[in-house]
Chain A
Amino acid sequence: MTYRMIAAAALAGSTIFASQAGAVEIEYWQYVYDTRVKAMDQLIASFQEANPDITVKQVTFPYADYQTRIVAANMAGQAPDVMQLFYGWADKFIEGGLIQPLPEEAFPTAEIEAEFFPIVSAMQRDGKYYGLPTAVRSLALFYNKKLLDEAGVAPPTNLDELVAVAKATAKADAGGNLETVGITMDPAGQDHHWWREVLDRQMGGAPYNEDYTQVTYADEAGANALGFYLGLARDEKVTQLGFMDEGQAAFKAGRAALTIDGTFRLGSFGEITDFEWAVTELPANAAGERSNYASYFANAIGAKTEGEELEASIKFLQYVSSPEAMKIWLEVVGELPARRSAALTDENLANPIYAPFLKGLEYAHTTRFVDEAGQRQVAIDMINRVMLEDQPIPDALAEAAAAEQKIIDDAAK
């Protein structure tokens, strides 16, 4: 009898204790990407260990309808407490009342600006930060060591060498059909960034004005940049538009010597067993100038989160943007830490794979997209008009600039 009573009392006591401690559950949303989900599982586990009264529930959706889910959930009052969003969605999410500014006490602006890479400023509006990334991504040139060795060439360091290496490694069959491309051409992948933020600047131009409200690539530099890019297929014949559908697929199949891709591809390329590959910085121009495109997914707090959920969310966001979380993210996902101190360690800088991406971060630009998909489509259509319909390059640029300017202007309304 006594034993039972004690047990009952203990049980009752423990329930009371748990509710007193305010066991709170928050929801975290991100899109499905195997390594990212795994990394987040690890982060949640160690966060919960340190904060036993908080439970974090991870919810994932396919990338294709991730944004729609957030917007729809917000309408239904079911929005996540903490969510991952692409920096380019920030305007839409802030205007739509989906996310709230990070509280200054928990995330001091001065500390953010001292600690993080400057590209996080793309999450800042009117002096307030609306989210912070765990990791950032930049571009680099991947090369297939086997194909380069066979051709007896070294990885390119500038654009002229890039063309030479591509020429040496491209292989065609007897009918002149490309079996292996020197470099992939996949505008829908990362190439449109390469053209916009890298090649255009290297040709002496600027794709946009300072605050990204004016499209400025429809000039001679833009034409030279586009001419160089399309020339790889049209004049040099070292590549083919959409070869094997996706650049990464061609590279993975060992049928492309070079491809430009981001840190996020490291995990997928890590599965390659048929050949060795390596990474080098994006090639410089003749004057040695380099550029890069950096981007990131930030974590932000839902606009409707309040009370103890808000407190828990702040704690969680602090943890996922801590150096410890960044280290785990780098190991599991392969994306670079968003804090300088966590990224620019001697160990990382000595890593032959991370180093080129980290160097790229130093001179990277972050396009302020207002509609990433729409603006990317403008670039794809521009390239298709030249490649499929023989539209002269300056006309294609002018048409693209007008279309993109309209997207930017419409978004500002």
Chain B
Amino acid sequence: MTAETHEQPGRRGLTLARRQALWAWAFLALPVVFYVLIRFYPTAQAFWLSLTDWDLMSKPEFIGLENYRQMLADPVFWKVFKNTFLYLIIGTPLSLLMSFAIAYYLDKTRFLHGFLRALYFVPYITTAAAMAWVWRWFYQPAPTGLINDLLGSFGFAQIPFLKSTTWALPSILVTAIWAGLGFQIIIFLAGLRAIPTTYYEAARIDGLGEGAILRRITLPLLKPTMVFLVVFSSIGFLRIFDQVYNMTSNDPGGPLNSTKPLVLMIYQTAFSSYDMGYAAAQTVVLFTILLIVSLLQLWVMRDRA
């Protein structure tokens, strides 16, 4: 009796901490329900659809692993698979290297710092469609195309860029890197600013050179930033779509599928052939790749401490 009156844990026998947790959950419930409904449910649904022959118009019928069998036997799928990884393998390191170099030197500049930073950021906020169109004209043969015109005036051979099965993919990739650079620079800058200046002062007093400071202090302390950017930009390149679609809109993913990434193939299978089952199977493959790549990167770049 006395014990009960003594504790008096509030209404319905809950402690303060529990009540707070309950409230937190009550507020979280809405986004959780929202996420489950519009994210997780469709994701699960896609797994099921990948085993059917759904074409949007008739009822889905279970066909087992037929879609996956078709995919593995489809040379276009393997071409697209290779393209997707080319975007990733070339795009991620190159864009990180460039954005780090720019951020590193931008961090040291005071003159026009804000202006330069804005300049690098502008492509990131520009519509992909508008950007793609400008680049399409840059890449034209001379005398229409700016780049080929310049090459020609210096006596270099013309590059067919988007009209070539070898050059088209790198040409598009360059624009994608350029477009994403601004974001990565800003994140790197924030990471650089977060490193306490006392470390640098101490290092300089101890007589460390700039190279050593970069290797011993800056890079190790930037690791969380880099892990974030590597994962973020890898996912971005694996899901590349707008640049490719907008720059090759007459022949999406062309010429001859040389620039087609997985997402564009999924889009075409789903919304131009209405082969939803097959598209879902491709989506499952993309999902698996994204999952593996992300986990692999987190594991490789994990803190060994």
Residues of chain A at the chain B interface (Cβ within 8 Å):
65, 67-68, 71-72, 74-75, 92, 95-98, 173, 175, 177-179, 186, 188-189, 240-246, 371, 373-374, 377, 380-381, 384-385, 388-389
Contact = CB atoms under 8 A, between A and B. Distances in A.
Interface string B52-75: 000111100000000000000000
A97 B57 contact: yes
A65 B271 contact: yes
A384 B250 contact: no
| Contact residues on B (Cβ < 8 Å of other chain), bracket | 20 to 34
A175 B256 contact: no
Given A68-B271, A388-B255, 5 more contacts: A189-B250, A241-B163, A244-B140, A381-B254, A384-B256
Given A179-B143, A389-B165, A384 B254 contact: yes
Nearest to A174: B152
Given A175-B152, A242-B163, A371-B273, A96 B58 contact: yes
Given A242-B250, A244-B144, A380-B251, A385 B256 contact: yes
B197 to A, nearest CB: 51
A175 B254 contact: no
Contacts of B136: 245
A71 B273 CA distance: 12
Dominant SS among interface residues on chain A: helix
A177 B148 CA distance: 10
Contacts of B256: 381, 384-385, 388-389
B164 interface: yes
Contacts of A240: 141
B52 to A, nearest CB: 15
Contact of A71 (B57, B250, B251): B57
A90 B136 CA distance: 35
Contacts of A246: 250
B57 A377 contact: no
Nearest to B168: A388
B163 A377 contact: no
B56 A71 contact: yes
B272 interface: yes
Interface in B105-163: 136-137, 140-144, 148, 152, 158, 163
Contacts of B58: 96
Interface in B38-96: 55-58
B219 to A, nearest CB: 43
B163 A388 contact: yes
Contacts of B55: 96
A323 B250 CA distance: 35
A244 B142 CA distance: 10
B141 A177 contact: yes
Nearest to A385: B256
A-B pairs with lowest CB-CB distance, top 9:
A96-B57, A188-B250, A177-B142, A384-B255, A71-B56, A68-B271, A384-B256, A380-B251, A373-B272
A245 B273 contact: no
Nearest to A241: B163
Contact of A177 (B143, B164, B165, B271): B143
Contact of A173 (B137, B142, B254): B142
22 contacts: A68-B271, A71-B274, A75-B56, A75-B57, A92-B57, A96-B55, A96-B58, A97-B57, A177-B143, A177-B158, A179-B143, A186-B250, A189-B250, A240-B141, A242-B163, A243-B141, A245-B136, A245-B140, A374-B273, A377-B251, A380-B250, A384-B165
A179 B152 CA distance: 14
